[in-house]
Structure 1
Amino acid sequence: MSEMILGFSIVSLLIWIYLLLFRGQFWQMDQRLPEGNQQTASVCVVIPARNEADLLPITLRSLLTQSYSGSLKVILVDDHSTDGTAEVARETAASLGKSEQLQILSAQPLPAGWTGKLWALEQGIQKGMELEPDYFLLTDADIEHDSDNVQNLVSHAIEDDRELVSLMVRLRCVSFWEKLLIPAFVFFFAKLYPFRWANDPNRSLAAAAGGCSLIRREALTRIGGVAAIRQALIDDCALADAIKSTGSHRIWLGLTQTTISLRPYDSLDTIWTMVSRTAYTQLDYSPLLLIGAVLGMFMIYLFPVLGILTGSLISVLTYLLMSLSYFPIVQFYRCSFWYTFCLPAIAFLYLLMTIDSAIKHWRGQGGAWKGRTY
């Protein structure tokens, strides 16, 4: 038994050495959108919105009051809301004297083979094509944009010649459950899709964050628009892959402290729902990959704790390396230092969410979001 524990301890340590040194330095969280210069390229913003009346007075305002000097038009697609989303959007624009800058569309019924968000985006993009913008900014209705965000996105796209510039916006991190689980959500995403690798034209790995993605119109047209990924639940990464696998292969994904999501996740249940919606999708709905993920999560995050309990000094070193890798994202989210040492418990919760995601899929309940199941 002691030899088995020693063997597992060594394997776990080697995995963490690999992750720290050879996984695109994902843990450093250093890919940040730089401040940009004034640009005049035309931009069409498309916002799919379903029951977002509470947040739009803040989030839509942040777009209509951008410091951007170029043409900036906003198309909001009301996806069968029941809370007066369209009316609130209209009133927000009118209060700013920006009614001519905003166009509101009522989404058509959802056709077979589409997810709701992508169908709303498709309709907004098709309408936006009439404007022939240089870029489309696809953004969620819960995102409050920094006043210079469009300028910085466009500047980076032009000056660094990127067909897609995407931001992992700062998620809300106020409640206990948000502080415990939200930084880890970004950490795990970055481990799966190291930002440096996604940003390297010579690597095939592609990733994006759907909450804030600026796309060159020609690139979107080249891939056939969002219709090419119409069934994707993880639509942001599917879009990034479609763009990077063609054309110049130049996309960019980074972090920001100043453009933020206002979506609250005050309870474990709300975060659980968000994660379990697509966790099994990440595994291509494969039972074998699920088994591999369970074993991998156990070996990477849980075994070091068990090793410490049995007196393994190697596991102590592994646990310290694990905590070291997690510290930058804890610091980024301005959480207490002590959350750094909670990663094994956090990973266990995410493991349960992943298993639950698979169970829901097998029961025909997978991909449930905002009253729809895909």
Structure 2
Amino acid sequence: MGYLLVAACASLAVWLWLALGQGMFWRTDTRLPARHAPARWPSVAIVVPARDEAEVLPHSLPSLLAQDYPGEAEVILVDDGSTDGTAGLARRLADAHPGGLPLTVLSPGEPGAGWTGKLWALRHGITHARSGAGPVPDYLLLTDADIAHAPDSLRELVCAATTADLDLVSQMARLRAVSVWERLIVPAFVYFFAQLYPFRWINRPAARTAAAAGGCVLLRTEAAVRAGVPESIRQAVIDDVSLARAVQRTGGRIWLGLAERVDSVRPYSSLADLWRMVSRSAYAQLRHHPALLTGTVAGLVLVYLVPPAALLAGLASGRPAVAWAGGLAWLLMAGTYLPMLRYYRQPAALAPLLPLTALLYLLMTVDSAVQHYRGRGAAWKGRTYARPGDA
């Protein structure tokens, strides 16, 4: 019980530091910065990588074609070896929305050696945008095929970029949280991401922390050329963070925040779907390093699992100090989670369940490492990617 008291006090100390010293990561008020319309609306090419997206494309692509944007804009959908008729469906959707933004569908074939599928698709989309008959677009909007945008989404992103002179503006799309498992796991996914990459730290002018949300990235074309993307990050499994780091490393200013009307329409109805979504890149996030995996597992246990264990054990054994330390840590944990639950319009009753969700993420991370060493790591839609340097 003495060891549990020490662990509970350590967990409480960590939570006090997280709540006050980790860039206020738990706050959800980081939205697009102050903005106004530019004197001249820059041109934009919207690049959409798509692999077997026939299920979600009818809910997302029309929202891009219907963008209310005063400047020149086009949509380039890159079919990444789909087998479900994604390319043909995209053309039919464009035909059904005459008067919308023009659509070009590309099919570049299988990724070249050393490329992930998404970045291979982005490479061809960006190359097409820059080598077309017209002038090179001023900006590139890189958005996933499952992301639906409000009609003014592009306009607001461009206003934010031009007003603050930003090279990269990224919004973390609001993921679907409808099924029981989505409600338990999805808000925590964004909460954990913000804990690792506090938005306020990223958005400081001289920031050292860099991250983006790959579902919605507005990127200045000059910054992309300067950073050599996507070629410079062609092997990245976690491509959004790698993209932000490349832009920041070459002097670009970046910004990341939560979206208000940019939504993912992809359903993750079962635990297995969410498990695959997390585990495919969890070990890559740890750079495939066993020591980092061990530290992460130990950290998750200390920070998320010790508090409820200490509270229950302290109450059961009549050790009030243990119960108080564990209970206060658990209370702080739940309190910092509440804003994210409100953002996702979920009940506050889910906040005390965060230790259970953290346990699931711990198991997903371990499974990600196991699958990596079995040669099935970073598997997504029929492809498995080697870690950088192994290809």
2:271 corresponds to which letter in structure 1? Answer: L
- 2:34 and 2:55 map into 1 onto residues whose CA distance is 30
Q: Which residue of the partner structure matches residue 209 of structure 1?
A: 213
Once the 2 structures are TM-superposed, how far is the Cα of residue 34 of structure 1 from its aligned partner?
4.9
Match of 1:328 among 339, 348, 360: 339
Q: Which residue of the partner structure matches residue 369 of structure 2?
A: 358
TM-score (norm 1): 0.97
Match of 2:357 among 346, 350, 363: 346
Contact 2:148–2:262 at 8 Å: present in 1 too? yes
Contact 1:27–1:325 at 8 Å: present in 2 too? yes
Q: Which residue of the partner structure matches residue 251 of structure 1?
A: 254
Deviates more, 1:39-48 or 1:100-109: 100-109
TM alignment of 1:195-344, pairs within 5 A: 195-248=199-252, 250-311=253-314, 312-344=323-355
Q: Which residue of the partner structure matches residue 74 of structure 1?
A: 75
- 1:49 and 1:159 map into 2 onto residues whose CA distance is 31
Q: Which residue of the partner structure matches residue 148 of structure 1?
A: 152
Once the 2 structures are TM-superposed, how far is the Cα of residue 98 of structure 1 from its aligned partner?
4.2
Q: Which residue of the partner structure matches residue 46 of structure 1?
A: 47
- Structure 1 gaps of 5+ residues are none
- 1:55 and 1:317 map into 2 onto residues whose CA distance is 43
- 2:88 and 2:263 map into 1 onto residues whose CA distance is 24
- 1:28 is paired with a residue whose SS is coil
- 1:13 and 1:34 map into 2 onto residues whose CA distance is 34
2:374 corresponds to which letter in structure 1? Answer: R
- CA-to-aligned-CA distance 1:265-294 (integer Å, 9 cap, x gap): 000000000000000011111111111001
- 2:200 is paired with a residue whose SS is helix
Once the 2 structures are TM-superposed, how far is the Cα of residue 92 of structure 1 from its aligned partner?
1.1
- 2:55 and 2:274 map into 1 onto residues whose CA distance is 19
Once the 2 structures are TM-superposed, how far is the Cα of residue 4 of structure 1 from its aligned partner?
1.7
- 1:247 is paired with a residue whose SS is coil
- CA-to-aligned-CA distance 1:28-77 (integer Å, 9 cap, x gap): 12111257544411000000111112222221110111111011111111
TM alignment of 1:125-204, pairs within 5 A: 125-130=126-131, 131-204=135-208
Deviates more, 1:333-342 or 1:28-37: 28-37
Give the CA RMSD over aligned residues. 1.2
Once the 2 structures are TM-superposed, how far is the Cα of residue 175 of structure 1 from its aligned partner?
0.4
CA change 1:261–1:119 in 2 (3 A) is: same
> 4+ residue runs of structure 1 moved beyond 4 angstroms?
none
Q: Which residue of the partner structure matches residue 18 of structure 1?
A: 17
Contact 1:47–1:76 at 8 Å: present in 2 too? yes
Deviates more, 1:195-204 or 1:280-289: 195-204
Contact 1:36–1:151 at 8 Å: present in 2 too? no
1:347 corresponds to which letter in structure 2? Answer: A
Q: Which residue of the partner structure matches residue 116 of structure 1?
A: 117
TM-score (norm 2): 0.93
- 1:100 and 1:213 map into 2 onto residues whose CA distance is 19
Once the 2 structures are TM-superposed, how far is the Cα of residue 201 of structure 1 from its aligned partner?
2.3
CA change 1:345–1:134 in 2 (3 A) is: same
Once the 2 structures are TM-superposed, how far is the Cα of residue 157 of structure 1 from its aligned partner?
0.4
Count the aligned residue pairs. Answer: 372
- Structure 2 gaps of 5+ residues are 315-322, 386-391
How much identity, in percent, do the aligned residues show? 51
